[in-house]
Chain A
C-alpha cells in the first residue's frame, strides 16, 4: 500500500510545519476580512462613510476587498443557479422546452442596461440600507456570470457517456448518488473553465455597477469601480493608475490562488481514457497538497462532500427500468397550450407598454443606431482578426512561446477593460479626436484576447504530421495560410471570435459614452442610446434599446457564428 492513503491521524502527530503556520495565519486573516466586509453591508445608507469614498490610495486595499467579496457573492449565487436551472433543463424534457431558449436569449441580453431598475428594485426590498445597493451590484455581476455556467452544466449533463450512466443504474446508484458520483464530476472541467470565463466578465460588471445613479441621487459603494468613477469626476489620472495597479494585484492573486489550482485539480475529472501529458502542478495546489493543515481541511471537506453525495435521498426505493414507451401526448399538448397562452400574454403586455411610450420612429431610430454599432463590431472583429491571428499562429507553433503567452492572454482577458478607458479618454480629449471613431476600439479592448488565446491553442494543437507534410511538399506563403493553417485553427478561431463579438456588444453600452470631468464624449450608436436612456431614467427607451441590441446579437449569432461553427465542426475537424 502506498502512503498517500493512510489517514491523517494514523501518520502520528508531528509538529506542524512552517507551511501550517502560514496557512493558519491566512485562514484567520480571510475570516476577519470577510467579517469586516459583512459588517459594512448592514449599516444604514446615510451612515457616515457607508457610500462615501475617498481617493486616498491607502483605502484601495479595502475597496479591492469589498469588490472581490461582491464578486464571490455573485459567484456563489451563479453556482446555485447553475446547479438548479442547468439541472432542471437537462433532466426534464418539458422544462427544457422553455428553459433552454430562455437561457439562450438571456446570454445575449445586455443586462447592463437594466442596472438602474434593478437598483430601484433591490433598494425597495431593503429601504434605507446599504444591503439593497450591495444586492443590486451583486445581481448585476450575477447576470454576467450565470448564463454560460448554466449552459455548460446543461450541456455536460446532456452528454454524460451512456455506458457510465448505465453502469450507475445497474450498480443501484440512486438519482441523487448518480448526480454527485457521475454527473457533477463529468460536468466539473467545463464548469470550472466557464466559471473562470465568468469571473473575467464579472470584473467588467462590478466596475460598472458600483457607482449608480437613480434619478438625482448617486451612490458609490466602496469598491474599485466607485474609486475609478470618482477619479474620473475629479480628473485625477494618478488615482486611476493606482486603481489599475490594485486591480492587477487582485486579479493576479485570485488567478494564482484560486483558479490555477482549481483548473489543475479539475483535470482529474476530464473524461479521457488515455493518460495525457501532465503539466506540473501550480504552486498553490502544491502548497495545499503538502501542507498538513490544509490537507486535513481538504480531506474533511472531501469526506463531508462524499457523505452528502453518498446519501440515497430518493423518492423511489430503487431505480426503475427504462421503458420504450412514448411520453404522453396529452400532457405534451397541454404543456404546449399553456406555453402558448403565456407567450400570448407576454406579447400583449409588451404591445400595451410599448404603444403608450413609444412611436414607430423610435424603433427606426434604435435600429438605425444598432446598425452603426453593428458596423463598429464588424470592423473591430476584422481588425482584431487580421492583427491577432498571425501573432497567435506564430506563438502557437512555437511551444515554448505558446506556454508563456497563454497565461498572459488569459490574464489580459480577465482584466476589466473599463479600468483602461480613462487613459484612452484623456487621449481623445487632449487631441480633440472624433469620438465616433476613437471610442470604438474600447469595445474590443477587453475581448480581443479571446481571439488570441484560442488561436494560440489551435496552432499549438495543430497535428505534427500535417506540419511535416506541408514542409515536405514545400507549401509556404499564402498557400500555406489558405490551405494549411487557417483551416487547421478555424474551429478554435470561431470559438474565440464568438466570445469576443458577444463581449463587444455588451461593452458598447459602456464604451460608446465616456467622460472626463465635465467633458462628455459620446459616439453615435445603440450602446450610447441605452446609456443615455438609463441616465434619464427612461424605462421605455432602455427596454427598446436592449431589445433591439438583443435581436442584433441573436441574429448575428444565428446567421453568422452558428453556421460558421457548424461548418468548422463538420469539415475542419479531424475524425
Chain B
C-alpha cells in the first residue's frame, strides 16, 4: 500500500458501525458488524456484496435515514442525526411520485428547501437537460420507460447539488443495454466535471459495474455484513471491459466473493452453532439441474470460469453465487478461486433419469440439510405423520431474521417435495407423509 497521506477533504467517516435488530429470546441479529468507511472528495466508491450483506443498510446509515445501533457517522467532521443536506439519493425502484410530472418530481427536493420558484424551475431545467430528459418535462413517470425513469431519479438527486450522491443499485431494475447507456452517460458527465457532486457512493451486486465505474470497491461478506476486502481500481476512464487487466480484476473479485469464510477467532469463541442456523437460499431444483447439465456439457466439460459463465447465462453475482453455493452444499460442485467444478456426484446426477436424480437429491438433502432431517424425524415419530410448519419457522427465527426463516422454509419445502421426502399442505401450513412411499 502506498504510504502517501490522502489530503483530499473527507466527506463521510463511518467508524465501528454496527447495526443489529433486537430479538426477543435470543441474541441480536447482526446485519452490519464493525464497519469502517471513509469517503473523500473526488472519488466513486462501490459497496459490493451479495443480497443480505448489509450494504444497503450501510447506505441508509450514511444518508442519515437510519441510525446505527452503535458506532459513529460523521459528515465533514460532525456527527449526523438525520438526513444531511449534502446528500441525495437515487433509488433502485426509482421512487418517483406517480402523480407528479418529470419537472415536479425533479423540483421536489428544492421545494422542500424552500428554494424560490423561479430559481427552482431554472435549476430543474438545467438538471433535466444535463441528464438527457429535455422534452419530457410534462410527462408523468408512467409514460416513461425504465431508463428514462431512472434518469428522472438521477436529475432529482443532482438538482439539489449534493456533495455526495448515493445510489442504491441504481441500474439493477433496468435491462442490460439501458443500464450500460446510463452508466457510461454518468461516467462521461463525471469525467467532464459536469456532475454537480463531489463524490459518489453506490451499492451494487454487479461486479463488472463496480469495476467499470468506481475508483474503490469495498467487498462485503454476509452474515453478518463486514467489509471483507477493499480494492483500488487503477484504470483510467473510459474503461474497456475486454481489457485483460479489467478481466483479471473481475476474476479476482469473484475469487474473493466465493472464498469460503475462514473462521475468525471471534466466531470460534462464540457458542456452538446450531445445525438450524443455516439460511438456505431460494434456489429451485430445476435451475440446479440446469446449471449442472450446462457445466457437464461442452464447452465447459466440468469446469467453468464464473465471470464467463455469468456472462453467457446473463446472470449477475446475486443469481450465480447462491446457485453455486447450493450445489456446493449438496457436494455436486466445488467453488474455487472464481471457478466452479462439477464433482463426480454432480456428474452422476446429470447422467441419471428422473427417479435416480430424485434419489441422489434425497440422499444429499438428508446428509447435508439438518432441517430436512428434523422435519422427517418429527413426521416419522408422530402417530398421524403430520407436523405444523409454524414450529419449524419459529425455531428458525431463533437463528435468523423472519425473512430469511421464511425463505429457508420455502426452499426446504420445495426441495423436500421434489425429493419426495414429505408432502406439504399450504392451506393448513402442515407437513405430512401423505402419498410418500
Contact = CB atoms under 8 A, between A and B. Distances in A.
Q: Do A and B bind each other?
A: yes
Contact of A272 (B20, B98, B137): B98
Given A318-B83, A321-B83, A166 B65 contact: yes
A312 B91 contact: no
Nearest to B28: A324
A290 interface: no
A275 B111 contact: no
Contacts of A482: none
B93 A320 contact: no
A324 B54 CA distance: 15
Contacts of A268: 99, 140
Contacts of A5: 137-138
A441 B81 CA distance: 64
Q: Which of B64, B94, B97, B143 has the most CB of A within 10 A?
A: B97
Contacts of B94: 163
Given A185-B97, A318-B82, A319-B82, A173 B69 contact: no
Contacts of B200: none
A172 B69 contact: no
Contacts, number: 99
B111 A4 contact: no
Contacts of A182: 97
B111 A310 contact: yes
A170 B89 contact: yes
Interface in B87-104: 87-89, 91-95, 97-99
A272 B141 CA distance: 9
Contacts of B69: 324
B93 A163 contact: yes
A520 interface: no
A275 B143 contact: yes
B63 A275 contact: no
Contact of A167 (B20, B21, B89, B137): B89
A574 interface: no
Q: Which of A164, A172, A173 has the most CB of B within 10 A?
A: A172
A170 B88 contact: yes
Interface in B106-150: 108-109, 111-114, 137-138, 140-143, 149
A268 B80 CA distance: 38
Interface in B244-293: none
A217 interface: no
B113 A273 contact: no
B138 A2 contact: yes
B369 interface: no
A322 interface: yes
A472 interface: no
Interface string B139-163: 0111100000100000010001000
A198 B1 CA distance: 71
Interface in A1-40: 1-2, 4-5
B113 A172 contact: yes
Nearest to A571: B427
Contacts of B81: 320-321
A271 B140 CA distance: 12
Nearest to B114: A312
B19 interface: yes
A177 B65 contact: no
Given A321-B64, A326-B22, A166 B99 contact: no
B83 A167 contact: no
A171 interface: yes
B83 A323 contact: no
A565 to B, nearest CB: 16
B91 A166 contact: yes
A167 B142 contact: no
Nearest to A326: B22
B264 to A, nearest CB: 25
B66 interface: yes
Interface string A256-295: 0000000000001111111110000000000000000000
A108 interface: no
Contacts of B143: 275
Given A163-B95, A318-B83, A322-B66, A275 B112 contact: no
Nearest to B160: A171
Contacts of A185: 97, 99
Contact of A269 (B87, B91, B98): B98
Contacts of A96: none
A174 interface: yes
Contacts of B66: 321-324
A181 interface: yes
Contacts of A273: 98, 141-142, 149
Contact of B22 (A1, A310, A324): A324
A269 to B, nearest CB: 5
Contact of B156 (A171, A272, A321, A326): A171
A4 B138 CA distance: 9
Contacts of B89: 166-167, 170
A169 interface: yes
Given A185-B97, A273-B98, A322-B66, A174 B112 contact: yes
B65 A169 contact: yes
A477 to B, nearest CB: 28
B95 A166 contact: yes
Interface of B: 19-22, 60, 63-67, 69, 80-83, 85, 87-89, 91-95, 97-99, 108-109, 111-114, 137-138, 140-143, 149, 156, 160, 427
23 contacts: A161-B95, A163-B94, A164-B95, A164-B97, A167-B95, A170-B83, A171-B88, A172-B83, A172-B85, A172-B109, A172-B112, A173-B108, A269-B98, A273-B98, A312-B114, A319-B83, A321-B65, A322-B66, A322-B67, A324-B20, A324-B66, A324-B69, A326-B22
Given A4-B138, A169-B65, A321-B83, 11 more contacts: A1-B137, A166-B60, A170-B63, A170-B87, A172-B83, A269-B99, A312-B114, A318-B82, A321-B64, A321-B82, A571-B427
